[in-house]
Amino acid sequence: MLKYIFSLIVFCVSIIGNAQTKDTTKVLYPERYGLRLGIDLHKIGQSFYEKDYRGFEIVGDYRLTKRFYFAGEIGNEDKTIEDDGLNFTTKGSYFKVGFDYNSFENWLDMENMIFVGMRYGISSFNHTLNDYTIFDPTNYYGENTVLTTQKFNGLNASWLEIVGGIKAELFQNVYLGFSVRLNYLVSNKKPDNFDNLFIPGYNRTYDGKFGAGFNYSLSYFIPIYKKNKVVAEEK
Amino acid sequence: MKKIVFITLSLLLAVSFWNCEKDDICAEGTAVTPLVIIEFYDATTTTALKSVTNLGVIAPSFTTGFSFTGVSKIKVPLRTSADFTSLHFIQNGSDADTTNDNIDLLTFNYMRNDVFISRACGYKTVFFLDATNPIALTTDGNNWIQNIEVVQPNIVTENEVHVKIYF
């Protein structure tokens, strides 16, 4: 994981390096506007190599202005989590809507992004408790693990996300992106006698209201129209 | 704007690393499965606390148990996997001399409820002693325990005394 983040940072820094070369003459470049659709590679990948996980996420954005993109994700997750005293399965779907702001000044006709954004996410899910161990401080009678099929249905949560990431055009119209997300729970409908330890789309929960996530996206850009960008003379 | 973007990105990156760390240790002091708290009183002067000497508490057929001496208040665990717990309360049981042992069998009858604590601690069991027959003392003709009084049938916390034993 960290290896990939690192390589993306290096890549990202090299883009910034490029950006410092500034044009001194006034040139017109056509900027393309359109819809970009893709998938989260990490969730697809995990579905293959982890037997306790099935999930996917479709990502999309639509360019509104030079810098702003309407953006969102929609996905589904089915994850079984084994903790010290608990084993449970969470299933559910989610969607997130918001915007991305591209802070990256592209050189010539490049269309890369270093962006920040926000999302509002909503998730609907259920948990199935598979087994739990009673926390007995003495364990005098031996460890007591209780098998169950208790279901906790009709749960939901919503949260705000601050997103930061990059998207780079690998080749014509195909983009590879990485984003990290800081989540803040706005609402959280908890079950009786259990807790939302994992929320599809939000990821695992912590004691407070904060959480975090990330994705790797591979997406395809469908151009719809063009606008000219004017690169003004600098100095 | 560039600065804000830079700060946000570094913050998010930092968070993504922190996300990998675990917080899966059940903190000490968390209210987990309560033990039953028993206080010993004098059988004749029923308001006077009485200390036990070399009291052994052991489940039948178990090889290890608990020993208490010089205390009037003890804590013993109940079974979380059954609705009753039988325990031998052995007077002079934890000393080397086995000839002076006096074994009394107590059976705690209760209802159980498993209550969620947290991700790290899992679940705990709380006990509700039976209203009609909370604790049965098996009569053996030579009981050292004279009387048993349940003061708090709901064994949910360890903050109060649940049972008084007079001897």
**pLDDT tens-digit series, residues A215-227:** 999 999 999 988 8
- Looking at residues A131-147, what average pLDDT do you find? 93
Contacts A4 to B, Cβ<8 Å? none
Task: Give the whole-angstrom CA distance, residue A146 versus residue A148.
Answer: 6
Q: Is the Cβ–Cβ distance between B36 and A145 less than 8 Å?
A: no
Interface-testing mutation among A143, A180, A183, A215, with chain B (most B C-beta atoms within 10 A): A180
Residue with tokens 């009673």: A134
- Looking at residues B23-38, what average pLDDT do you find? 86
User: Cβ contact (<8 Å) for A133 and B117?
Assistant: no
pLDDT given for residue A234 in this prediction: 52
Contacts A135 to B, Cβ<8 Å? 26, 32-33, 117, 121-124
Percent above pLDDT 70 for chain A: 85
More confident residue, B3 or A213: A213
Q: Which residue of B has its CA nearest to A82?
A: B119
- Looking at residues A48-73, what average pLDDT do you find? 94
- What are residue A86's DSSP bridge partners? A132
pLDDT given for residue A68 in this prediction: 94
Average pLDDT over all residues of chain B:
88
**Whether residue A113 has pLDDT greater than 60:** yes
CA angle B137, B139, B145 (to 5 degrees): 55
> For A6, what's the count of Cα atoms within 13 Å in the CB-facing half-sphere?
3
- Tell me the residue type at A31: E
Task: Report the gap between the CA of B35 and the closest CA in chain A (Å).
Answer: 9
Residue B66 token pair: 């608990």
Which helix (H) or strand (E) is A46 found in, with range? helix A41-49
pLDDT given for residue B93 in this prediction: 85
Task: Give the whole-angstrom CA distance, residue A121 versus residue A6.
Answer: 27
Contacts A214 to B, Cβ<8 Å? 16
pLDDT given for residue B21 in this prediction: 47
CA angle B146, B152, B153 (to 5 degrees): 90
Please indicate if any CB of chain A lies within 8 Å of the CB of B24. Answer: yes
pLDDT given for residue B15 in this prediction: 62
pLDDT band at A61 (very low <50, low <70, confident <90, very high): very high
Please report the beta strands in chain A, taking only residues with DSSP state E, as ranges in sequence order: 27-40, 53-63, 68-82, 86-102, 113-133, 145-147, 151-171, 174-188, 198-199, 203-204, 210-231
Q: Which residue of A has its CA nearest to B23?
A: A206
Task: Report the gap between the CA of B62 and the closest CA in chain A (Å).
Answer: 9
Tell me how crowded residue B33 is: count the other CB atoms within 10 A of its CB. 25
pLDDT given for residue B25 in this prediction: 80
Task: Give the whole-angstrom CA distance, residue B59 versus residue B40.
Answer: 19
**Whether residue A3 has pLDDT greater than 70:** no
- What are residue B116's DSSP bridge partners? B123
User: Cβ contact (<8 Å) for B119 and A133?
Assistant: no
Task: Report the gap between the CA of A184 and the closest CA in chain B (Å).
Answer: 13
Nearest by Cα to A41 from A75, A14, A68, A10: A75
> DSSP H helical segments within chain B, as ranges?
2-18
Contacts of B62 (CB under 8 A, 6+ apart): none
**Whether residue B1 has pLDDT greater than 70:** no
Please indicate if any CB of chain A lies within 8 Å of the CB of B125. Answer: yes
**Whether residue B16 has pLDDT greater than 70:** no
- The residue extents of the domains of chain A are 40-126+155-231
- Looking at residues A186-194, what average pLDDT do you find? 94
Task: Report the gap between the CA of A39 and the closest CA in chain B (Å).
Answer: 20
ipTM of this complex: 0.80
**SS3 category, B4:** helix
pLDDT given for residue A229 in this prediction: 67
**Whether residue B6 has pLDDT greater than 90:** no
Tell me how crowded residue B40 is: count the other CB atoms within 10 A of its CB. 21
Nearest by Cα to A169 from A26, A29, A30, A36: A36
Q: Is the Cβ–Cβ distance between B110 and B155 less than 8 Å?
A: yes
- Looking at residues A81-97, what average pLDDT do you find? 94
pLDDT given for residue B20 in this prediction: 47
pLDDT given for residue A7 in this prediction: 59
User: Cβ contact (<8 Å) for B123 and A85?
Assistant: yes
Contacts of A63 (CB under 8 A, 6+ apart): A32, A33, A34, A36, A69
Q: Is A97 exposed, middle or buried (0-12, 13-18, 19+ CB in 10 A)?
A: middle
Q: Which of A85, A134, A162 lies closest to B8 in CB terms? A: A162
Task: Give the whole-angstrom CA distance, residue A198 versus residue A210.
Answer: 12
Please indicate if any CB of chain A lies within 8 Å of the CB of B29. Answer: no
pLDDT given for residue A110 in this prediction: 81
User: Cβ contact (<8 Å) for B12 and A140?
Assistant: no
pTM score, two decimals? 0.81
Contacts B126 to A, Cβ<8 Å? none
Please indicate if any CB of chain B lies within 8 Å of the CB of A214. Answer: yes
Chains A, B: CB contacts within 8 A come to 115
User: Cβ contact (<8 Å) for B12 and A133?
Assistant: no
What digits encode the pLDDT tens for the residues B78-97?
999 999 999 999 998 888 88
More confident residue, A116 or B93: A116
pLDDT given for residue A22 in this prediction: 52
More confident residue, A7 or A51: A51
CA angle B149, B131, B123 (to 5 degrees): 95
Please indicate if any CB of chain B lies within 8 Å of the CB of A13. Answer: no
Q: Are strands A198-199 and A210-231 parallel, antiparallel or unpaired?
A: unpaired
User: Cβ contact (<8 Å) for B119 and A86?
Assistant: yes
